[in-house]
């Protein structure tokens, strides 16, 4: 039973691969269903891992990868058909690269992992809403006003960038070191 979160994470990665293949073939409704199913597995694996203490080193490593893979893959696909601006995609990829690098440095030097907080969850929620509406718009052209999609994407990117600075503050890269000790989770070496 303790492996269920990891199984869901691997299943999510497989769903993203299927999403990409189906997107290439313009099966937007199936892509929408797959994307939402992948998002539900993300919520479910996190809930189960925390609720039953089924947290593993594999999950700590692969779950964030699966999350980023899901987000970036969907946005690259949308960008390829002109449904997402390329400049926002580049900005997001730079932000993610900085976040991953900072996380690795924090883990190696301080033996702690900074976990997702409120701002990261808000940004994720906005991305999920934006991608979902974009997929609906691709399946049913003109249903969702383009300015609404653009506003949602800009809000998601802005909050995502804000969350990067918030994580950097919590990790002590800016401001006072270890200002918020509750932001950390002990690494497996400390347990």
Domain residue spans of the chain: 4-186
Nearest to 69 by CA among 19, 125, 13: 13
153 has a pLDDT exceeding 90? yes
Q: Buried b / exposed e across 51-82, counting CB within 10 Å, b at 16+? A: eeebbbeebbebbbebbebbbbbbbebbbeee
pLDDT band of residue 118 (cuts 50, 70, 90) is: confident
Q: What is the average per-residue pLDDT within 114-126?
A: 83
pLDDT at 78 over 50: yes
Nearest to 38 by CA among 60, 20, 19: 19
DSSP 182: G
Residues 4-186, CATH architecture: Up-down Bundle (1.20)
Q: Under a CB-based contact definition with an 8 Å cutoff, are residues 123 and 163 in contact?
A: yes
């Amino acid at each position: 039973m303790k492996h269920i979160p990891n199984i869901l994470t691997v299943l999510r990665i497989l769903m993203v691969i299927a999403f990409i293949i189906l997107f290439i073939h313009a099966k937007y409704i199936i892509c929408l269903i797959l994307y939402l199913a992948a998002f539900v597995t993300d919520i479910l694996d996190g809930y189960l891992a925390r609720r039953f203490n089924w947290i593993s080193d594999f999950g700590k490593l692969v779950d964030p990868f699966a999350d980023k893979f899901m987000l970036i893959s969907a946005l690259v696909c949308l960008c390829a058909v002109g449904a997402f601006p390329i400049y926002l995609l580049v900005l997001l990829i730079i932000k993610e690269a900085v976040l991953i690098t900072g996380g690795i440095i924090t883990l190696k030097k301080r033996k702690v992992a900074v976990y997702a907080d409120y701002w990261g969850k808000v940004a994720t929620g906005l991305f999920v809403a934006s991608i979902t509406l974009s997929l609906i718009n691709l399946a049913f052209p003109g249903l969702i006003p383009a300015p609404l999609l653009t506003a949602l994407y800009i809000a998601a990117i802005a909050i995502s960038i804000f969350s990067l600075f918030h994580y950097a503050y919590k990790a002590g890269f800016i401001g006072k070191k270890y200002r918020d000790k509750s932001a950390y989770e002990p690494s497996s070496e400390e347990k």
